[in-house]
């Protein structure tokens, strides 16, 4: 049956003949034509034993009927089968007519219920079925005559909608309305309600859809994950009044899918008045399942459509399912690729002993001063895999181990830095943070809402690094999947590497004038040697400038200036970062 058909009825009977094979009379002659209309077995039985109100199966004949919905197992009798016998309904006479009854939920798998004689009562409890949608009745009469005469079928407690493997979009997010065909913002509120793109599509001309507008988009989520099975997995339904065609009324959208809500992949397009069947396998990488579908309007400019693609709904043809948990990674990186050997700071070639064995970054980090690391160099990078998924847990997820000769040195004393990027697909990489020797953990959450990633890219930070050869990578530890790694003990040991770093709270930091309409000054005096970075952010967290970024020395008074004349009036924030600490101060720009 059509996934969008409303199967609920007040009275539930057989509504469709799926198959029928009529037998003969016991003497071998055909059954009379007046008894051979299969449609007589449909709809409500007359229960009167009246002539011509039934269908005769014939000896050993059979009929398969679809019910008007799902008949559920409730207490007592669930289905009544009515048979016409002119000698009455009691089953004890010479002319008893009998049939074998089979039941099915989907028309493919059948369960034998048993036999009925004349009228029969069916209790689904006897076959442990929650519901049925089809019934097959086969004549097993042994006497003379023309076999079982089927008057009709009645579901005692009525029918409900047929349970379906499909499910529908349940949540809408990131709705970005486009423009109307005059280039103006959409304003028709009844066309901009995202709830109208959720649930079962109406597939009619009602105003129960979401208009995207030219260039607009929306992302739809489900109550579970949608598996990538053979054939179509997603159906995106569009509404166009009067069932216009794309040629006469162009509306279109590109369809993207995502497994993590961060990385989206194009799998196809949907046109005017289309219920596009789309296969997740069309994505450029293999996805065993997806969690979200993004619909982006591509209605061509010049179309007569007033407001672009009208989204009626999204159907998950393979259902909403429990998430598939990928195989977890082990402790350490097991393979590398895309190793790019950088150069020395002066552009020279790095010694071969530091670069000729990239395999040094694999396995458990040695954490020694031996040449068991790989130098990235300026402009260098490497990408690692872990033999499984690195899960995003609460707190740090990765430890990036760097080799610095003289293990007592921390970031501020030995400036080798690397930027870390993570990816779930080796296509889209997301910045997760910058590491150095004593500040060397990464929280995957800083790269986005990942549940897990498979790839980690480590790139020498050419701006912050000051040593001759750049970042020396010893290895990477996946904290959440490494039972043998005691992160707390490791963190305590790492904290000892930065005992002499500058503390931002001890800088004596002050700003003046405040408020300011032009140049403002930032004054501080460090108590220890270390790098000091001062940046400016607006109230929305956007970085609007860097005031200071260099090594500062104890006892010296530093006075940096920042020209705010090109900023809009409002509240701004100075952020001062020193080693592993930072502080912020607010200031106001006036005009």
pLDDT band for position 502 (cuts 50, 70, 90) = low
268: left (phi over 0), alpha (psi -120 to 50) or beta: left
Helix, strand or coil for residue 280? helix
pLDDT band for position 457 (cuts 50, 70, 90) = very high
- Ranges in the chain annotated CATH 2.60.120.260: 14-155, 167-321, 333-478
- The percent of residues above 70 in pLDDT, for the chain, comes to 91
Q: What is the pLDDT of residue 88?
A: 67
* HSE-up of residue 235 (Cα within 13 Å, Cβ side): 20
Residue 377 to residue 380: CA distance in whole angstroms: 5
Residues in Cβ contact with 491 at an 8 Å cutoff, skipping those fewer than 6 apart: 441
Tell which residue, 218, 213, 207, has the closest CA to residue 181. Answer: 213
Q: What is the pLDDT of residues 461-479, one digit of tens each?
A: 999 999 999 999 999 999 9
- Other CB atoms within a 10 A radius of the CB of residue 527 amount to 12
Helix, strand or coil for residue 204? coil
CA 386 to chain centre: 23
Q: What is the pLDDT of residue 48?
A: 79
Beta bridge partners of 536: 545, 574
Q: Are 376 and 382 in contact, with CB atoms under 8 Å apart?
A: yes
Region of poorest pLDDT, from 7-11, 191-195, 247-251, 304-308: 7-11
CA 90 to chain centre: 59
pLDDT above 90: residue 377: yes
pLDDT band for position 8 (cuts 50, 70, 90) = very low
pLDDT band for position 4 (cuts 50, 70, 90) = very low
pLDDT above 90: residue 143: no
Q: What is the pLDDT of residue 500?
A: 45
Region of poorest pLDDT, from 86-90, 98-102, 149-153, 399-403: 86-90
Q: In what order do the strands lie in the sheet with 570-578?
A: 543-552, 530-538, 570-578, 581-589
Q: What is the pLDDT of residue 51?
A: 73
Report the chain's mean pLDDT, rounded to a whole number: 87
- Architecture per CATH, domain 510-589, reads as Sandwich (2.60)
Q: What is the pLDDT of residue 1?
A: 30
pLDDT above 80: residue 33: yes
Q: What is the pLDDT of residues 189-222, one digit of tens each?
A: 999 999 999 998 877 778 889 999 999 999 999 9
* HSE-up of residue 9 (Cα within 13 Å, Cβ side): 20
Q: Are 554 and 500 in contact, with CB atoms under 8 Å apart?
A: no
| Mean pLDDT, residues 404-430 taken together | 81
Tell which residue, 137, 53, 142, has the closest CA to residue 97. Answer: 142
Q: Are 493 and 566 in contact, with CB atoms under 8 Å apart?
A: no
Specify the CATH number of the domain 333-478: 2.60.120.260
pLDDT above 60: residue 11: yes
What predicted TM-score, i.e. pTM, was given to this entire model? Answer: 0.59
Longest dimension (CA), the chain: 119
CATH class of 167-321: mainly beta
Q: What is the pLDDT of residue 246?
A: 85
Pairing of strands 55-56, 62-72: unpaired
pLDDT band for position 586 (cuts 50, 70, 90) = confident
CATH homologous superfamily for 14-155? Galactose-binding domain-like (2.60.120.260)
Q: Are 287 and 325 in contact, with CB atoms under 8 Å apart?
A: no
User: In this structure, what token pair is assigned to residue 137?
Assistant: 């009745």
């Amino acid at each position: 049956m059509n996934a969008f058909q409303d199967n609920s009825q007040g009275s539930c009977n057989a509504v469709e003949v799926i198959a029928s094979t009529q037998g003969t009379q016991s003497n071998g002659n055909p059954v009379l034509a007046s008894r051979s209309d299969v449609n007589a077995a449909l709809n409500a039985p007359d229960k009167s034993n009246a002539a011509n109100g039934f269908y005769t199966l014939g000896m050993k004949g059979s009929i398969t009927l679809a019910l008007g919905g799902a008949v559920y197992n409730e207490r007592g009798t669930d289905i009544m089968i009515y048979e016409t016998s002119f000698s009455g309904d009691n089953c004890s006479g010479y002319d008893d007519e009998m049939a074998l009854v089979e039941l099915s939920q989907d028309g493919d798998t059948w369960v034998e219920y048993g036999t009925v004689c004349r009228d029969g009562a069916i209790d689904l409890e006897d076959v442990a079925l929650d519901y049925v949608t089809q019934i097959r009745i086969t004549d097993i009469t042994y006497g003379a005559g023309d076999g079982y005469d089927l008057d009709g079928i009645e579901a005692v407690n009525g029918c409900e909608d047929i349970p379906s493997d499909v499910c529908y979009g349940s949540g809408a997010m990131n709705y970005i309305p486009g423009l109307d065909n005059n280039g103006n913002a959409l304003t028709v509120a009844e066309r901009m309600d995202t709830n109208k793109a959720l649930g079962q599509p109406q597939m009619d001309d009602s105003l129960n859809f979401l208009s995207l507008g030219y260039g607009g988009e929306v992302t739809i989520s489900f109550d579970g994950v949608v598996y990538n099975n053979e054939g179509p997995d997603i159906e995106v339904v569009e509404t166009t009044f009067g069932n216009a065609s794309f040629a006469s009324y162009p509306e279109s959208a590109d369809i993207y899918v995502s497994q993590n809500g961060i990385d989206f992949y194009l799998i196809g397009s949907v046109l005017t008045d289309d219920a596009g069947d789309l296969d997740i396998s069309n994505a450029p990488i293999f996805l065993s399942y997806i969690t979200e579908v993004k619909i982006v309007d591509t209605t061509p400019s010049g179309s007569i459509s007033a407001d672009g693609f009208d989204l009626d709904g999204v159907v998950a043809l393979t259902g909403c399912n429990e998430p598939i948990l990928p195989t977890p990674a082990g402790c350490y990186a097991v393979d590398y690729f895309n190793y790019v050997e950088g150069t020395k700071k002066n552009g020279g070639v790095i010694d071969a002993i530091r670069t000729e064995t990239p395999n040094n970054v694999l396995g458990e980090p040695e954490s020694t001063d031996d040449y068991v690391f790989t130098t990235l160099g300026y402009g260098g990078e490497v990408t690692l895999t872990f033999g499984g998924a690195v899960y995003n847990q609460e707190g740090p997820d990765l430890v990036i181990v760097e080799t610095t000769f003289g293990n007592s040195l921390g970031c501020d004393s030995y400036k080798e830095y690397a930027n870390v990027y993570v990816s779930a697909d080796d296509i889209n990489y997301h910045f997760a943070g910058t590491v150095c020797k004593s500040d060397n953990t990464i929280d995957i959450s800083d790269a986005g809402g990942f549940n897990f990633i498979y790839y980690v890219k480590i790139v020498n930070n050419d701006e912050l690094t000051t040593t001759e050869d750049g970042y020396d990578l010893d290895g990477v530890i996946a904290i959440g999947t490494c039972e043998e790694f005691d992160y707390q003990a490791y963190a305590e040991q790492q904290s000892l590497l930065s005992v002499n770093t500058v503390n931002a709270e001890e800088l004596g930091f002050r700003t003046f004038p405040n408020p300011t309409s032009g140049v403002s000054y930032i004054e501080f005096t460090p108590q220890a040697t270390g790098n000091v970075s001062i940046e400016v952010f607006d109230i929305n967290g956007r970085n609007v400038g860097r005031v200071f970024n260099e090594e500062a020395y104890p006892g010296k008074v530093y006075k940096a200036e920042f020209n705010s004349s090109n900023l809009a009036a409002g509240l701004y924030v100075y952020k001062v970062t020193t080693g592993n600490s930072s502080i912020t101060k607010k200031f106001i720009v006036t005009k």
